[in-house]
Structure 1
Amino acid sequence: MGALKVFILAGEPSGDALGAALMAGLKSQVPGVAFDGIGGPLMQARGLVSRFDMSELTVMGIAEVLPKYRHLKRRIAETAQAVIDTAPDVLITIDSPDFSLRVARLVKAASDIRTVHYVAPTVWAWRPERAKKMAAMIDHVLALFPFEPPYMEAEGMQCDFVGHPAATVPRASAAAQAEFRAQHGLDDAAPLILVLPGSRRGEVARMSPVFGEALGRLARTRPDMKLVVPAAGSVADAVRTEVSKWPIAPLVLDPRGQDADAALAEKRVAFAAADVALATSGTVALELAAAGTPMVSAYDLHWLSRAIISRMVTTDTGSLINHVADTRIVPEVVGKDFNADNVVRAMQGLLADPDAQRDAMELTMDLLGRGGADPGLRAARAVLNRMG
């Protein structure tokens, strides 16, 4: 294949990571590939000049989006027009459906540009009608989970399971973990709790106060425990502000000012070095499973978003470990049940029996492609193969 023009866009940190790996895969297959679009620091490190700051798109929830709707609508129109004007060989949108699929719809209405969406919508969990709607503007879907292609193909889209990046992440060595603990004065005998309040500003603002209260109470019975909070660069300031209010001061890992690879390596070591985690529900659960770190999963939305979305959910679990391994071993504290009392109770149970989740985490990694080709390369090959 000759010079390939790819317009690629992501709207949040997890999508940035997927996009960077896909860009690397495409470069390995088509050395002259040219990229345009929107992405974060990882995609920019692969050569993308982002048209605007990706953090503008990192919002979630109906109530959270409403105040920014006009601005997002302008960005959607502006981005779609850029795709139409530059006429790439393919438009690849990554997750962030509220933005991505609206851009793809406008592009399809005005052109025959091929469209690929990376990350199948979770129609197996809620709003199954989304697959049918998506088929109107998406030609090809790259799926992270092996059970997703039939849902997409049933609506007429091409779909390939390309594996999940978390399954290929090497676990930090025992030596690296020991060095991390020593560097930060973390006693090996003290419980080290990884706290993940979210990668979106709204999540950080909602989750952090309850996390802080719960951890403060937990510290009364575990006064030697230590906390580490890896922050996404886009919300690092918000994380620092929120955790400063906690009764127990955590170590905050701030990736800003670091080389992207060094920051990622530090994060992976922290994940593996921790004994347990308190995590905002999402793809971070798979990173924890890859690191072998058992977790309590928690989540809440703005009350209006919660009221609307709760009527659309078709599953009894939001944990990806529970879904993939077909278990309910990961404790969840979500929605109206998300409060400090329930978080403390779940964390006490986890600390009492942290090994209960091990088998489910290992099975999850196997099912998601551990030992196979890199998902970014598989995704790149799928894009190119389907383009013919």
Structure 2
Amino acid sequence: MKFFVIAGEPSGDQLGAALMAGLRELCPEVEFIGIGGPQMQAQGLSSLFPMEELSLMGLWEVLPKYRQLKRRIAQTAAAVAETQPAALITIDSPDFCLRVAAAAREADAKLRTVHYVAPSVWAWRPGRAVKMAKVIDHVLAILPFEPPLMQAAGMTCDFVGHPVATARVAGADEAALFRDRHGIAADAPLVLCLPGSRKSEVGRLASRFDEALIRLRDRVPELRVVLPTVPGVVHMVRDMARRWPTAPIVVEERDEKQAAFAAADLALAASGTVSLELAANHVPMVIGYDMAPISRMIIGMLLRTDTVTLVNLVSETRAVPEFLGRECQPGPIAEALQAVLEEKITRKAQLDAMELTMDRLGKGGEAPGLRAARSVLAAI
């Protein structure tokens, strides 16, 4: 049995690798073709081209690459037709993946299609689900409130759990060793700086995050900063870190990042899945995000919710402070960081929301990759 699997960014690569492992467990002779990063490649995928070409977000960021993306869409759809897979499985990255699915469906109307990660219709552009239903048969949802929204649009959908809820987290011993390795005192406040996994995010947020942390360090002199990063932006992050007065410790290796999360007291992070990783590690956080002005204006007009932070949404609280768009400024962010660091009530509210979030995302249950694999096989 063959599957054509596409992921366009690191979070999708992680989901894809777990799904592939689950499919291989259930169907040992399975084969994979498609596009993915290092984790999917470790599961046996030979990527048609580097996944990093698809790691774009926002209208303004996509426009300069539009012609190249159109060529890649045509190339990928042709590869799907040649492969004739049991199903095309697209993972997040809807601007690319759903266009591939549409082109592949034109070539083969009987092609079975599965999309992993439901579109955020609860946040903005509710019509996307209806449009997606024209080319997608089945959806694998990672948030518990999404299946009814997908089913209403005409697709089948299963909540398969979020991988962060069952992922390994480092323990207290690993956290202590991390601090020792990097010369961080046991009682020194340790802040994670997470400006994103895309080049556009890092370029837009890094200077604001750094300025906010400089202001926080002025008030908390013993503060230490760690900057976990991913392969697609590591060189950019290291270049920036060399110029940052806060001199963050840059960590890239997976075990080292897990230890950093376990050791942290606080985080300043870009909006996205990382808020759930922080929640799994019980790290209180402040969220910041911004986009190019034209993207910010359009999305601002379409936004349907008063928060985009997943911990807030899943827990149905507003425990995590967030600064979006024009509000993503160093001064207010620094004040919020200090409040979370020093106010026990604020921290407790976040920690309670994090625990509820993990429970609702499937903590203690079967691995999401295996649940997703069962759902795919049932759907086809």
- TM-score range for the pair, normalised by the shorter chain length: over 0.9
Verify the 8 A CA contact 1:208 1:243 in the aligned structure 2.
no
Separation in structure 1 between the aligned mates of residue 209 and residue 155 of structure 2, nearest angstrom: 41
Separation in structure 2 between the aligned mates of residue 59 and residue 99 of structure 1, nearest angstrom: 10
Separation in structure 2 between the aligned mates of residue 64 and residue 170 of structure 1, nearest angstrom: 34
1:258 matched residue in structure 2: none
- How many aligned positions are there? 376
Q: Which residue of the other structure, out of 364, 368, 377, is the alignment partner of 1:375?
A: 368
- The answer to whether residue 11 in structure 2 is matched with residue 11 in structure 1 is no
Separation in structure 1 between the aligned mates of residue 243 and residue 56 of structure 2, nearest angstrom: 23
2:342 matched residue in structure 1: 352
Q: Secondary structure at the match of 2:193?
A: strand
- The answer to whether residue 276 in structure 2 is matched with residue 276 in structure 1 is no
2:294 matched residue in structure 1: 304
Verify the 8 A CA contact 1:277 1:293 in the aligned structure 2.
yes
Q: Secondary structure at the match of 2:323?
A: strand
Q: Which residue of the other structure, out of 188, 199, 213, is the alignment partner of 1:201?
A: 199
1:150-180 Cα offsets, whole Å, 9 max, x none, are 1111111010000000100233111111111
Verify the 8 A CA contact 1:213 1:247 in the aligned structure 2.
no
Separation in structure 1 between the aligned mates of residue 203 and residue 169 of structure 2, nearest angstrom: 30
- The answer to whether residue 127 in structure 2 is matched with residue 129 in structure 1 is yes
**Length-normalised TM-score, structure 2:** 0.98
1:49-99 Cα offsets, whole Å, 9 max, x none, are 111100000000000000000001100110011001111111000000000
**Length-normalised TM-score, structure 1:** 0.96
Alignment of 1:107-122 (within 5 A): 107-111=104-108, 112-122=110-120
Verify the 8 A CA contact 2:133 2:153 in the aligned structure 1.
yes
Verify the 8 A CA contact 1:11 1:55 in the aligned structure 2.
yes
Amino acid at match of 2:184: L
Separation in structure 2 between the aligned mates of residue 91 and residue 264 of structure 1, nearest angstrom: 29
Q: Which residue of the other structure, out of 102, 112, 137, is the alignment partner of 1:139?
A: 137
Larger mean Cα displacement after TM superposition, 209-218 or 13-22 = 209-218
Separation in structure 1 between the aligned mates of residue 48 and residue 168 of structure 2, nearest angstrom: 32
2:77 matched residue in structure 1: 80
TM-superposed deviation, 1:185: 1.0
Separation in structure 2 between the aligned mates of residue 16 and residue 159 of structure 1, nearest angstrom: 21
Separation in structure 2 between the aligned mates of residue 382 and residue 73 of structure 1, nearest angstrom: 31
- The answer to whether residue 213 in structure 2 is matched with residue 223 in structure 1 is no
Q: Which residue of the other structure, out of 245, 248, 254, is the alignment partner of 1:247?
A: 245
Runs of 4+ in 1 over 3 A off after TM superposition: none
Alignment of 1:143-182 (within 5 A): 143-182=141-180
1:287 matched residue in structure 2: 277
Identical columns (%): 58
TM-superposed deviation, 1:267: 1.5
Verify the 8 A CA contact 2:174 2:262 in the aligned structure 1.
no
Amino acid at match of 1:304: I
Q: Secondary structure at the match of 1:311?
A: helix
Amino acid at match of 1:342: P
Separation in structure 1 between the aligned mates of residue 66 and residue 348 of structure 2, nearest angstrom: 44
Amino acid at match of 1:382: S
Separation in structure 2 between the aligned mates of residue 40 and residue 355 of structure 1, nearest angstrom: 37
1:39 matched residue in structure 2: 36
Separation in structure 1 between the aligned mates of residue 254 and residue 360 of structure 2, nearest angstrom: 24
Verify the 8 A CA contact 1:135 1:155 in the aligned structure 2.
yes
Q: Secondary structure at the match of 1:37?
A: strand
Verify the 8 A CA contact 2:8 2:55 in the aligned structure 1.
yes
Verify the 8 A CA contact 1:329 1:356 in the aligned structure 2.
yes
TM-superposed deviation, 1:117: 0.2
Amino acid at match of 1:44: Q
1:208-255 Cα offsets, whole Å, 9 max, x none, are 01011111111111111111011111110111122222211000012x
Separation in structure 1 between the aligned mates of residue 132 and residue 333 of structure 2, nearest angstrom: 37
Separation in structure 2 between the aligned mates of residue 236 and residue 343 of structure 1, nearest angstrom: 24
Q: Which residue of the other structure, out of 81, 86, 99, is the alignment partner of 1:89?
A: 86
2:54 matched residue in structure 1: 57
Separation in structure 1 between the aligned mates of residue 352 and residue 333 of structure 2, nearest angstrom: 23
